[in-house]
């Protein structure tokens, strides 16, 4: 939390545990195959209207204890991690560890492509999380040594305040890699809360999974 009010991290922690996030994807590892890598690219939509709450769009992995989360948020002045945000989005790598840690928050405009890549680093055994804006890495954090990856999420959250709907948006190039092949990881049928697309396929028997573009409708948490 260096350089940022500690209270915000605490608030995020409490809110995450207390609020019912709108989880369009919640995908559980099973059969002894854990998540070891994932990537997801959010195409930033327009800002919520009105801008009255902290609206957060994120992908994430629930680890054994920690929660690692590439966040894009829009919030009015005084809320959230960026100042002078206006109708833009604040993007950063975030790790909900016992002392919440985040990478640098960086502003991007609607239309920008915000990719978060999560990977269990085989030499350090840390989870390296990197957020890219239009293919340039801007925010990183490495945490959660040795923890297994249990659940992959794509979600919308009203992290604080009174939130307008998150405008419709899409997630491109979602991928998840497992520790060992598990054909049963495949989700069939619709995703949650009206999200369409996101069809999963594997070309290596169930270790590496690719998704078609996921389209998320305007969503209120």
Ligand X SMILES: *[C@@H]1O[C@H](CO)[C@@H](O)[C@H](O)[C@H]1NC(C)=O
Binding site for ligand X (CB under 6 A): 121, 123-124, 128
Interatomic CA distance for residues 94 and 12, integer angstroms: 10
Beta bridge partners of 60: 69, 153
Closer residue to ligand X (CB): 117 or 169: 117
Closer residue to ligand X (CB): 113 or 119: 119
Closer residue to ligand X (CB): 74 or 144: 144
Beta bridge partners of 96: 67
Smallest separation (angstroms) from ligand X to the CB of 67: 21
Smallest separation (angstroms) from ligand X to the CB of 169: 28
Smallest separation (angstroms) from ligand X to the CB of 53: 36
Helix (H, G, I), strand (E, B) or coil at 210: strand
Closer residue to ligand X (CB): 59 or 129: 129
Q: What is the DSSP letter of 51?
A: -
CA torsion sign, 96 to 213 to 216 to 197?
Answer: negative
Closer residue to ligand X (CB): 72 or 129: 129
CB-CB neighbours of 127 under 10 Å: 24
Cβ atoms of 143 and 66 closer than 8 Å: yes
Closest CB to ligand X belongs to which residue?
121
Smallest separation (angstroms) from ligand X to the CB of 44: 26
Smallest separation (angstroms) from ligand X to the CB of 66: 18
CA distances 152 to 41, 139, 173, 183, Å, are 14, 20, 14, 16
End-to-end CA distance of the chain: 26
């Amino acid at each position: 939390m260096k350089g940022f009010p500690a209270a915000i991290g605490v608030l995020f922690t409490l809110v995450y545990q207390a609020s019912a996030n709108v989880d369009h994807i919640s995908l559980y590892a099973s059969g002894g195959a854990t998540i070891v890598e994932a990537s997801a690219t959010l195409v930033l939509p327009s800002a919520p209207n009105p801008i009255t709450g902290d609206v957060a769009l994120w992908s994430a992995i629930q680890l054994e204890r920690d929660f690692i989360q590439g966040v894009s948020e829009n919030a009015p002045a005084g809320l959230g991690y960026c100042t002078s945000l206006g109708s833009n989005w604040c993007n950063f790598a975030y790790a909900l560890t016992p002392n919440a840690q985040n990478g640098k928050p960086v502003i991007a405009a609607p239309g920008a492509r915000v990719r978060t890549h999560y990977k269990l680093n085989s030499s350090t055994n840390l989870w390296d999380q990197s957020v890219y804006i239009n293919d340039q890495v801007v925010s990183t954090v490495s945490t959660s040594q040795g923890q297994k990856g249990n659940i992959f999420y794509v979600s919308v959250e009203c992290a604080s305040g009174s939130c307008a709907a998150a405008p419709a948006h899409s997630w491109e190039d979602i991928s998840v890699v497992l520790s060992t092949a598990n054909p049963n990881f495949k989700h069939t049928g619709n995703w949650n809360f009206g999200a369409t697309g996101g069809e999963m396929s594997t070309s290596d028997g169930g270790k590496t999974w690719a998704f078609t573009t996921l389209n998320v409708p305007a969503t209120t948490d």
